[in-house]
C-alpha cells in the first residue's frame, strides 16, 4: 500500500519534536533579578562571605529570594528590580574594590532541566537589554609606552653602532640621550635621524640629544591605541561567548561596549575592566637589593616585590605580553597551578637569545595592572596608577623559546584568570569603565509587544486561512506550523551564542509564511492529481514527490541569501539572518516530513474514497 510510514521516519520526527520542545521549555520559566559577586586577584568568594552578605542584606531590609554559590561566584536572586538596584549599591560599598559586584538576570530554569543542558534563549539589547559599558583609553600612557619602546630601541641601536652614551631617560613627552662628547652626539644625531624618521631631534645643553614624536606620529599612536584596544576587547568578549556584541569607537578616546543577552555580567566587567599584561625581566645580580630598599636604586634597575620579598630587576624588558599568542592554565608535575605560554616568532626569538646568554641566572615574571585612581587631570582625563608585582622568579636552566610555563601562582582560579587575560591580548593602553549600566529594551516595550503580536497574529491568520481553505489538510499544516515555531525556539536555545533580536523576530514572521508556502505547493499539487483522475493515495504520493524539488530549490536560494547576510552583515542583520536560516531548515522539515508522517498516519495504508482538501 502507498503512503505508509516507516518506523525510522516516525522515530526521527518524534525525536526532533521532543528534543526541540524540551529545549524550548526553559523559555517559559522566565528570569530572576540577581546580583553576582566575583573575587579579584587578591580575594576569593567563600562560604564565610556568603554568610556575611546574607546577614548584611537582612539588616538593610533587602529581601532575598535565593543565594547560590558555584564556580567561585556568589549569585543572589532578588524578587524585583528595585531590590536588585539597592542590593548592588549596598554591596558595592560594603565589599569595596576586592570584589566585583554586578547586576545580572539569572534564568529560573528548574535544576532537572539545567542538568540536561536546557537554557532559555538569549535576547538582544533591543528585546531584553544587557550591559552597556563606556570605556576610556589613557592616551598619556599609550604615548609613554611608545616612548619607553623608543628608549629601549635607542639603547640597543647605539650599542650596536658603538656610539657610547652616558644615559637614556624618558621625561615628559620626550627621550633625553646624554653623550660624553660633542663628536659622538653629532654622529648619533645623524645616525638616529636616518634610522627613525618618526621622531624629531634637538640638541640641548650638557651634550643632550632630545627626541620627541612628530605630531603625525602622535596622532597615529592615539588612533592605533583605540583601534588595537577595540580588537583586543572584541577578543575578550569572544572569550566570554557573547553573541552579537557591539564594540565601537566613540569620540577620540572612548569605546562603547554593549553585551546583549549576557549571562555573566560580573565576569564581563572583571575581564573588560582588567588592563593586565606580563613582562619578563632579568634579576639584577650586580647590585645589592638592600641598598635599593634604603632608597639607593641603580639607574638601570627597579625595585619590585614578590609578595613581601623585595626583588631588584633590570629595567630592560626581555619580552612583553604583546608577543603572547596563547595561554592555558593547568597544573605542573607536582599538581600546582601553572600557565603555559606560547609566544609569536619575534617574542620567541628574543626569549631564545636571552635564555641562551643567561643560563644559570634568575629571570622574573612581572604582572602589571593599570587601575584608575578615581581622580582626573587638568584635561579631565582619568588618572591611572601602574601596579607591578613579581609573580615568579625562576632560574634559567637551559635555552627555551616560544613555549614555556609560569609557576608560583596562588590558586587554580588565579591561573585561569591570568591565562584568559593573556590569551585575549595585552591592551596597548590602560582603559577604565567610566560608565556602566544595565540597559532595557532600546526600542521600547511597546515595540517588543508589537513584535510579539505580529508573530501571534501572523501565525493565527495563516492557521485560520489554511484551516478554511484546505480543511483537514489545513489542520495538518497548522500542526506543522506550531511544531515549526517550537523547533525554532528550541534550536535558538540550544545554539551557543545565538541571540534573538527584533529583526530576528521579523525573520520568524517571514519563516511562518515560507513554511506554509511549502504546504500550499504540496496541497495544490495533490488537488491537481485528483482532478487528473488519480486515486487519493496516488494523489498524496505524487503530490509530495512532485513538489519536493520545487520546495528545495526555493529554500536553498533563500538560505544562500541568509548565509551571505550572516557573513557580511553585523548586529541586527546577523540576527535576522540567523532566524531566517534556522526557520528555513525547520520549515522544510515540518512542511515535508512532519506533515507527511501525519497525513500517512491518518489517510495512508487504507482505502480512501475522498480527501478533505
Residues 96 and 205 in one domain: no
Structural domain tally of the chain?
4
Of the pLDDT bands very low, low, confident and very high (cuts 50, 70, 90), residue 241 is: very low
3-state secondary structure of 224: helix
Does the pLDDT value for residue 438 go beyond 90?
no
Residue 119 located in a structural domain: no
Pair 385, 480 in one domain: no
Residue 363 is assigned to a structural domain of this protein: yes
pLDDT in the model for residue 239: 52
DSSP state of 397: -
Indicate whether 245 belongs to any domain: no
Res. 304 pLDDT band, cuts 50 70 90: very high
Q: Containing domain of residue 307, as a range?
A: 276-426
Residue 372 has pLDDT above 80, yes or no: no
Q: How distant is the alpha carbon of residue 259 from its chain centre? A: 8
* 44 band by pLDDT with thresholds 50, 70 and 90: confident
Confidence of residue 146 (pLDDT cuts 50, 70, 90): confident
CB 385 within 8 A of CB 370: yes
DSSP state of 377: -
Q: What stretches of 287-430 adopt beta strand conformation (E)?
A: 301-306, 309-320, 324-331, 337-343, 362-376, 382-395, 403-406
pLDDT in tens, 441-496: 555 566 677 777 888 888 888 889 888 988 889 899 999 999 999 999 999 888 87
Residue that finishes a domain, picked among 166, 191, 214: 214
| 3-class DSSP state of 322 | helix
Beta strands in 214-283 (DSSP E): 246-250, 254-260, 276-283
Domain annotation covers residue 558: yes
Residues 47 and 11 in one domain: no
Mean pLDDT of 38-58: 78
Same domain membership, residue 306 and residue 177:
no
Q: Does some domain include residue 187? A: yes
Task: Based on the fold, state whether residues 195 and 326 are members of the same structural domain.
Answer: no
Q: What local confidence, expressed as pLDDT, does residue 266 receive?
A: 63
Same domain (yes/no): 418, 310: yes
Tens digits of residue pLDDT in 377-429: 776 665 667 788 887 788 888 888 788 887 777 777 777 766 766 665 556 67
Among the residue ranges 53-62, 559-568, 604-613, the one predicted with the least confidence is 604-613
- Asked whether residue 404 falls in the same domain as residue 460, the answer is no
Average pLDDT over residues 52-70: 86
Higher pLDDT, 130 or 254: 254
Q: Please say which residue of 174, 197, 214 terminates a domain.
A: 214
The pLDDT tens digits for 523-581 are: 898 888 888 888 888 888 888 888 888 888 888 988 999 899 888 876 678 778 888 89
Mean pLDDT within 145-149: 81
* Same structural domain, 414 and 458: no
User: What is the SS3 assignment for 118-134?
Assistant: CCCCEECCCCCCEEEEE
The answer on 399 and 532 residing in a single domain is no
Residue 209 has pLDDT above 50, yes or no: yes
- Residue 466 shares a structural domain with residue 557: yes
Q: Is residue 120 part of a domain?
A: no
State the CATH number of the domain containing residue 55. 3.30.70.260
Q: Which three cell numbers stand for residue 538?
A: 496516488
Residue predicted with more confidence, 581 or 258: 581
- The candidate with the shortest Cα–Cα distance to 154, out of 197, 188, 127, is 188
145 and 429 Cβ atoms separated by less than 8 Å: yes
Residue bearing the bigger pLDDT, 498 or 371: 498
Asked if 420 contacts 271 with a C-beta cutoff of 8 angstroms, the reply is yes
Pair (501, 517) in one structural domain: yes
Asked whether the predicted pLDDT for residue 512 surpasses 50, the reply is yes
Cell of 246: 557591539
Query: What element of type H or E holds 346?
Result: helix 345-357
Average pLDDT (332-347) is 83
- What pLDDT was estimated at residue 325? 76
pLDDT band at 365 (very low <50, low <70, confident <90, very high): confident
Picking from 56, 91, 107, the residue at the C-terminal end of a domain is 107
Domain membership of residue 251 (yes or no) is: no
Cβ–Cβ contacts within 10 Å for residue 381, how many?
A: 14
Domain match, 324 and 454 both: no
Predicted confidence (pLDDT) per residue in 102-126, tens digit: 777 778 888 888 888 888 887 777 7
Q: Domain with 338 in it: what CATH number?
A: 3.30.1360.200
Residue 69: C-alpha distances to residues 22, 38, 51, 87, 143 (Å): 27, 10, 11, 17, 43
Is residue 549 a part of any domain in this protein? yes
- What are 162-208's pLDDT values in tens digits? 888 888 888 878 888 888 888 888 888 888 888 877 888 888 888 88
Give per-residue pLDDT as tens, 83-96.
888 888 888 788 87
> What CATH number is given to the structural domain containing 144?
3.90.1070
> What is the rounded average pLDDT of the residues 249-263?
77
pLDDT of residue 312: 93
Among candidate residues 502, 576, 579, the one with its CA nearest the CA of residue 126: 502
**What is the C-alpha separation between 467 and 471, in angstroms, rounded?**
5
Amino acid at each position: 500500500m502507498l503512503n505508509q510510514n516507516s518506523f525510522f521516519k516516525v522515530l526521527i520526527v518524534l525525536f526532533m519534536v521532543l528534543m526541540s520542545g524540551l529545549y524550548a521549555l526553559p523559555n517559559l520559566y522566565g528570569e530572576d533579578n540577581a546580583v553576582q559577586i566575583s573575587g579579584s586577584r587578591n580575594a576569593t568568594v567563600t562560604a564565610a562571605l556568603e554568610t556575611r552578605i546574607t546577614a548584611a542584606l537582612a539588616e538593610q531590609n533587602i529581601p532575598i529570594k535565593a543565594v547560590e554559590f558555584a564556580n567561585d561566584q556568589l549569585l543572589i536572586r532578588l524578587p524585583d528590580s528595585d531590590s536588585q538596584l539597592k542590593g548592588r549599591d549596598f554591596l558595592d560599598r560594603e565589599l569595596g574594590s576586592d570584589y566585583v559586584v554586578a547586576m545580572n538576570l539569572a534564568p529560573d530554569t528548574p535544576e532537572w532541566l539545567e542538568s540536561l543542558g536546557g537554557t532559555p534563549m538569549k535576547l538582544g539589547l533591543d528585546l531584553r537589554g544587557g550591559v552597556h559599558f563606556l570605556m576610556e583609553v589613557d592616551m598619556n600612557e599609550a604615548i609613554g609606552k611608545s616612548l619607553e619602546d623608543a628608549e629601549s630601541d635607542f639603547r640597543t641601536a647605539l650599542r650596536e653602532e658603538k656610539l657610547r652614551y652616558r644615559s637614556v631617560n624618558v621625561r615628559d613627552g620626550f627621550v633625553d640621550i646624554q653623550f660624553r662628547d660633542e663628536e659622538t652626539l653629532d654622529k648619533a644625531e645623524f645616525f638616529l635621524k636616518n634610522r627613525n624618521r618618526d621622531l624629531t631631534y634637538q640638541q640641548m645643553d650638557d651634550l643632550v640629544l632630545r627626541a620627541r614624536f612628530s605630531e603625525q606620529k602622535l596622532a597615529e599612536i592615539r588612533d592605533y591605541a583605540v583601534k588595537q584596544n577595540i580588537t583586543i576587547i572584541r577578543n575578550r568578549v569572544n572569550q566570554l561567548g557573547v553573541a552579537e556584541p557591539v564594540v565601537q569607537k566613540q569620540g577620540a578616546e572612548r569605546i562603547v561596549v554593549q553585551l546583549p543577552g549576557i549571562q555573566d555580567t560580573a565576569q564581563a566587567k572583571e575581564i573588560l575592566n582588567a588592563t593586565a599584561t606580563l613582562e619578563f625581566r632579568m634579576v639584577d645580580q650586580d647590585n645589592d637589593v638592600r641598598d635599593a630598599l634604603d632608597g639607593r636604586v641603580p639607574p638601570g634597575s627597579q625595585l619590585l616585590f614578590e609578595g613581601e620579598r623585595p626583588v631588584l630587576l633590570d629595567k630592560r624588558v626581555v619580552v612583553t605580553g604583546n608577543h603572547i599568542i596563547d595561554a592555558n592554565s593547568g597544573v605542573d608535575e607536582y599538581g600546582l597551578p601553572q600557565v603555559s605560554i606560547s609566544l609569536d616568532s619575534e617574542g620567541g626569538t628574543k626569549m631564545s637569545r636571552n635564555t641562551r646568554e643567561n643560563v644559570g641566572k634568575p629571570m622574573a615574571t612581572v604582572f602589571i595592572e593599570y587601575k584608575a585612581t578615581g581622580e582626573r587631570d587638568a584635561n579631565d582625563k582619568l588618572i591611572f596608577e601602574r601596579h607591578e608585582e613579581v609573580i615568579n622568579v625562576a632560574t634559567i636552566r637551559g635555552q627555551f623559546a616560544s613555549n614555556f610555563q609560569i609557576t608560583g601562582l596562588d590558586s587554580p582560579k588565579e591561573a585561569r584568570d591570568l591565562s584568559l587575560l593573556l590569551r585575549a591580548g595585552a591592551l596597548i593602553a590602560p582603559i577604565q569603565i567610566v560608565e556602566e549600566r544595565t540597559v532595557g529594551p532600546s526600542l521600547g516595550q511597546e515595540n517588543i509587544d508589537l513584535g510579539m503580536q505580529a508573530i501571534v497574529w501572523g501565525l493565527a491568520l495563516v492557521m485560520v486561512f489554511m484551516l478554511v481553505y484546505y480543511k483537514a489538510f489545513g489542520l495538518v499544516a497548522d500542526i506543522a506550523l506550531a511544531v515549526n515555531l517550537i523547533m525554532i525556539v528550541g534550536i535558538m536555545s540550544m545554539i551557543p551564542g545565538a541571540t534573538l533580536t527584533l529583526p530576528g523576530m521579523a525573520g520568524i514572521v517571514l519563516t511562518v509564511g515560507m513554511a506554509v508556502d511549502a504546504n500550499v505547493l504540496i496541497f495544490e499539487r495533490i488537488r491537481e492529481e485528483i482532478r487528473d483522475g488519480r486515486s487519493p493515495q496516488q494523489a498524496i504520493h505524487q503530490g509530495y514527490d512532485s513538489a519536493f524539488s520545487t520546495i528545495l530549490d526555493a529554500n536553498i536560494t533563500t538560505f544562500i541569501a541568509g548565509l551571505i547576510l550572516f557573513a557580511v552583515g553585523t548586529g541586527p542583520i546577523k540576527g535576522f539572518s540567523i532566524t531566517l536560516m534556522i526557520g528555513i531548515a525547520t520549515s522544510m522539515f515540518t512542511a515535508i516530513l512532519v506533515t507527511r508522517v501525519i497525513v500517512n498516519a491518518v489517510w495512508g495504508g487504507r482505502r480512501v474514497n475522498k480527501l478533505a482538501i
